[in-house]
Chains A and B, each alone.
Chain A
Amino acid sequence: MIRGQQNKSVRWIAGAMLAMGIAFANASSAKAAPIIIPVTKCGTTISKAGFYQVTQNLSSTQAPGKDCIDISASNVILDILSNGESLCSGRLIKGDSTTKSPVGIHILSSAKNVFIQGQNSNIAGWETGIEDDGSYAIADDFNVTNNVNVGLLLKGVTGSSFSNFFSGILQDTSGADCFPVGIQGPQFYGVEFQNTTGSQIFNAISAGNGIYGVWSTGSSSNRISLVNSGPATGGVQAASFWFGCNSKPNPSASCSPHGKSNLVYDDTTTVLTSTGQFINGGGQFGFVFEKGETGYIVTDNAAANNFIDMYAIGDSTCTANSYFFNFAGFAVPSCINKQ
């Protein structure tokens, strides 16, 4: 990973607290302490509001051909209880790496205000790791790794927010892939915004995906901030960030629909690996803005060592979008770097 060191300090604190026998006491009770509803197998549909907790590893073999967890009700909290391990050994919701394992966690369109606390768990081997078709969802602290198509898919939603996650090829602290056998990778896309508005991702890493680290297609008024997207050790990623409707990097192709008014800031094409190594670029494209994508604000982003670090296709005067205070080693056109 790439995310290996992220939670070290807090995990240490948690471990120390456990060792001292404090803190993890049971709730003292009572009248209305929310009932914790355990989720113990794939094929579960959550159809009532409440607090649900995944308490063990889950596998697609428990419900072949089905999503692992569907959420159809609003106001659901899904807590994926940590097993105390991290990286490759963390809590696992596992598919079989085929289309017979559709979605790891699927927020259906009927579900609003879902909150997922991942506790640094791994969702791997699904067609799509997490798919949000609802709106106003929040998810935090999870790894979507080695899925077939997309790690995190926001599909036709409004107002959702995903943070503090890793999407790509998860690796251990020696740089070895967590799931070399049985669960295949790479994912085609780390994150996909599809016809989505007013949503955001922040403080995330997308690394080692096959095509795009972050892909926005037909989506508008979203925020992409503080995201590091680049290749993993020995991995590929054709473009770190791709804004436009071409599903593969083909700058001259036309497509529709286009997106507008997205905010892209504080992002980089550098990733920090689980071994403490900075991988600085190395993909075909860093940031790409297709012709037809308009009204963006693109600022305070950094990219280097890609074939083209920042590329505004067909926007030779940088007027389709507002680019300023960016730091690209090679920008086309150069006005992207305007100070």
Chain B
Amino acid sequence: MNKLHQLNTAIASRSIKIAMLAMGIAVGAAGSAAALPNPPITACGQTISTSGYYQVKGNLTASGTCITVAASNVTIDILNTASSDPCNNTTISGSKLSGSAGIHIEPKVKNTFIQGENSVITNFDYGIEDEGTNSSGDDINLSNNLTAGIALLGTGGSFSNFFSGALQHSSGGNCSLPPPQEFGVYLDGGSGSQIFNGITAGNDYGVFESGSTGSTVALMLSGSNIADGYQFNGGSKNYIYDDLAGTDSFIPLSGNDGFGINIISDTNDLITDNTAGGNTDYDINAAGDSTCTSNTYWFNFADMPSTPCINSK
């Protein structure tokens, strides 16, 4: 539950980087040709079939899927042209075609790493569709995709430090027109996945789990969603901790219009150290589990839990 810390950390990190850039230090040129063995990706429609480091340069536009990862041990670095307005960051944009993805990690692919550099992936069916194993993604914005900003469908995927939802201008107002994403993050059927230190806002559902096992949802902020901040439905043995659902005083999140955290039919989850307030329905809802026996709930801070045992043991 260290929202302050995580924000301070992020702010401090960015401040350092900005200060260093302003001082003209540190951001030196590449010193090694060997470190850039692959040509940059400058257009959509690419399938990466050889392991290595790939750099995305410039704004890309796709009519279908933009980048498909078909080999293991691939690193994708989306070189961002930083802007004071996130809407003007480097953008990979689709055409809202059903089944399309900004980046699609295929099944049997292992150890993909995506460094987003705070770029934007928008207007696909899925911003990132991960069907692989042990993928990682960091520092990226998923905005106004149709079904999900991030879909974790494989095993052991880990995504952090991201925003998924309706990205806004620094001056306010959405970057893109509605409709909102259906899910900020969609965990479906996979196992051992995790998301942490991310924000979901302006989706139908911030985080939606359906049949995932042994996954971790930690240190997330989810608010201003049309339905639930988090919904867990059909999985088991998931770890849900240090999350915030609803209002937050540090970023302009309001309550979710449904439940803050909605545990529908998961079993044997551990749910602890979460904070929820300002949501339209219960802040934490244990559907049909008035005695808190289907899952283990303790040390939560919900203004309106569906049953008191959610907050304490």
A117 engages B299 (CB within 8 Å):
yes
A335 engages B27 (CB within 8 Å):
no
Identity of the chain B residue whose Cβ is nearest the Cβ of A338 in the assembled complex: B30
Identity of the chain B residue whose Cβ is nearest the Cβ of A9 in the assembled complex: B4
The residues of B that contact A117 with a CB separation of less than 8 Å are 241, 272-273, 298-299
28 residue pairs from A and B, CB less than 8 Å apart: A9-B4, A23-B305, A24-B311, A27-B309, A28-B308, A32-B291, A51-B313, A77-B296, A79-B298, A119-B273, A140-B272, A164-B242, A203-B196, A221-B134, A223-B158, A226-B161, A265-B115, A266-B161, A268-B12, A272-B9, A304-B26, A317-B35, A318-B32, A325-B117, A327-B16, A335-B32, A335-B35, A337-B27
Q: A23-B305, A161-B216, A334-B31 are in contact. Are A33 and B293 (CB under 8 A)?
A: yes
Q: Once bound together, how far apart are the Cα atoms of A280 and B13, in whole Å?
A: 10
**Distance (whole angstroms) from the CB of B294 to the closest CB of chain A:** 9
Identity of the chain A residue whose Cβ is nearest the Cβ of B308 in the assembled complex: A25
Identity of the chain A residue whose Cβ is nearest the Cβ of B293 in the assembled complex: A32
Q: Which of B1, B160, B192, B307 contacts A164 (CB 8 A)?
A: B1
Tell me whether B171 is interfacial, beta carbon within 8 Å: no
A203 engages B313 (CB within 8 Å):
no
Tell me whether A30 is interfacial, beta carbon within 8 Å: yes
Give residues of chain A (188-216) contacting chain B, Cβ–Cβ below 8 Å: 200, 202-203, 205
Tell me whether B292 is interfacial, beta carbon within 8 Å: yes
Tell me whether B252 is interfacial, beta carbon within 8 Å: no
Give residues of chain B (1-60) contacting chain A, Cβ–Cβ below 8 Å: 1-6, 8-9, 12-13, 16-17, 20-21, 25-32, 34-35, 53
The residues of B that contact A299 with a CB separation of less than 8 Å are 77, 113, 115, 138
**Distance (whole angstroms) from the CB of B156 to the closest CB of chain A:** 8
Contact bitstring A6-46, B, C-beta under 8 A = 1, else 0: 11111001100100000111111111111010000000000
Give residues of chain B (186-244) contacting chain A, Cβ–Cβ below 8 Å: 192, 194, 196-197, 216, 218-219, 239, 241-242
Closest 4 CB pairs of A and B: A335-B31, A27-B309, A25-B308, A6-B5
Q: A17-B303, A117-B298 are in contact. Are A140 and B27 (CB under 8 A)?
A: no
Q: A27-B291, A141-B242 are in contact. Are A324 and B2 (CB under 8 A)?
A: no
Give residues of chain B (272-312) contacting chain A, Cβ–Cβ below 8 Å: 272-273, 275, 277, 290-293, 296, 298-299, 301-303, 305, 307-309, 311-312
Give residues of chain A (85-109) contacting chain B, Cβ–Cβ below 8 Å: none
Identity of the chain A residue whose Cβ is nearest the Cβ of B239 in the assembled complex: A138
A79 engages B299 (CB within 8 Å):
yes
The residues of A that contact B312 with a CB separation of less than 8 Å are 23-27
Q: A27-B292, A27-B309, A335-B28 are in contact. Are A270 and B16 (CB under 8 A)?
A: yes
Q: Once bound together, how far apart are the Cα atoms of A28 and B272, in whole Å?
A: 18
The residues of A that contact B27 with a CB separation of less than 8 Å are 327, 337, 339
Give residues of chain A (298-339) contacting chain B, Cβ–Cβ below 8 Å: 299-300, 302, 304, 316-319, 322-325, 327-329, 331, 333-335, 337-339
B16 engages A280 (CB within 8 Å):
yes
Q: Which of B16, B136, B194, B197 contacts A226 (CB 8 A)?
A: B197
Q: Which of B1, B134, B273 has the most CB of A within 10 A?
A: B1
Q: Once bound together, how far apart are the Cα atoms of A297 and B290, in whole Å?
A: 46
The residues of A that contact B25 with a CB separation of less than 8 Å are 329
Q: Once bound together, how far apart are the Cα atoms of A190 and B293, in whole Å?
A: 37
Q: Once bound together, how far apart are the Cα atoms of A31 and B294, in whole Å?
A: 11
Identity of the chain A residue whose Cβ is nearest the Cβ of B297 in the assembled complex: A27
Q: Which of B113, B192, B249 contacts A297 (CB 8 A)?
A: B113
Tell me whether B139 is interfacial, beta carbon within 8 Å: yes
Tell me whether A228 is interfacial, beta carbon within 8 Å: yes
A325 engages B115 (CB within 8 Å):
yes
Q: Once bound together, how far apart are the Cα atoms of A309 and B3, in whole Å?
A: 28
B6 engages A203 (CB within 8 Å):
yes
B31 engages A327 (CB within 8 Å):
no
Tell me whether B87 is interfacial, beta carbon within 8 Å: no
Q: Which of B1, B20, B134, B194 contacts A327 (CB 8 A)?
A: B20
Identity of the chain B residue whose Cβ is nearest the Cβ of A205 in the assembled complex: B5
Tell me whether A263 is interfacial, beta carbon within 8 Å: yes
A163 engages B219 (CB within 8 Å):
yes
A319 engages B35 (CB within 8 Å):
yes
Q: Once bound together, how far apart are the Cα atoms of A24 and B298, in whole Å?
A: 10
Q: A119-B299, A325-B77 are in contact. Are A203 and B5 (CB under 8 A)?
A: yes
